[in-house]
Amino acid sequence: MLEVSVSSPPSTAEAPRRKAATVAPPVLGTYGRVAAWLSKRVEVALAGLDLTLPQYRVLGILAEGSAAASGLADRLAVRRPSITALIDGLVARGLVDRRQEDADRRRVALRLTKDGERTLAEADRAVDDYLVSIAGHLNDKDEAMALRSLELWARAMAESRQGPREAAEQPPGGGSR
């Protein structure tokens, strides 16, 4: 059985990147379990910045533009009281700013501060570096494929937010993939 520690990021003093020279172990589980394992690795990479995965997700969404807390809750699939507590913590750290909208004084918009932008950029680098270091244990072709698959998942998830695909975009035969 393959044992893997997900409690700390790789040390810079580690041996140089190794390339897989033998056959890889069998798939470790379902796609869902692999995605959960990968999510844990992202949490590990963020820990050095004292940032949680939900906080990272909020900063990433706010980097796309200001948002209301209710919109964030919907996008993150969490209840509104949960997002309020999360935002309160980010505001207290100076990473997010609350401002009343000029057009509707009842509406409060959330925006990244300069510190929030800097923290998000640092977090992006830390997560990317960590994921690249993991993928580096594969041969060159598989490493590139693993990293490219993350880009494809990002595109699929962004497109899924835009609604169902049109019939013309479905594969031949009209069935699912």
For residue 74, the domain's CATH number is: 1.10.10.10
pLDDT at 150: 94
pLDDT at 169: 55
pLDDT, average across residues 134-161 = 93
pTM over 0.85: no
The total domain count for the chain is: 1
Q: Which of 33, 31, 96, 45 is nearest to 68 (CA)?
A: 96
How many other C-beta atoms lie within 10 A of the C-beta of residue 30? Answer: 9
Kindly state whether residue 95 falls inside one of the protein's structural domains. yes
Kindly state whether residue 40 falls inside one of the protein's structural domains. yes
Q: How far is CA 57 from CA 4, 21, 25, 114, 129, in A?
A: 25, 36, 32, 17, 18
Kindly state whether residue 134 falls inside one of the protein's structural domains. yes
pLDDT, average across residues 74-84 = 85
pLDDT, average across residues 27-40 = 84
| Residue 100 vs residue 98, higher pLDDT | 98
* Burial (CB count within 10 angstroms: exposed 0-12, middle 13-18, buried 19+), residue 93: middle
Helix axes 69-76, 53-63, angle to 10 degrees: 120
Name the strand (E) or helix (H) holding 105.
none
pLDDT, average across residues 150-168 = 78
Q: What is the pLDDT confidence band of residue 55, given thresholds at 50, 70 and 90?
A: very high
Give the domain range for residue 43.
31-162
Kindly state whether residue 20 falls inside one of the protein's structural domains. no
> Is the pLDDT reported for residue 125 higher than 90?
yes
**Spatial distance between the Cα atoms of 31 and 35, rounded to a whole number of angstroms:** 6
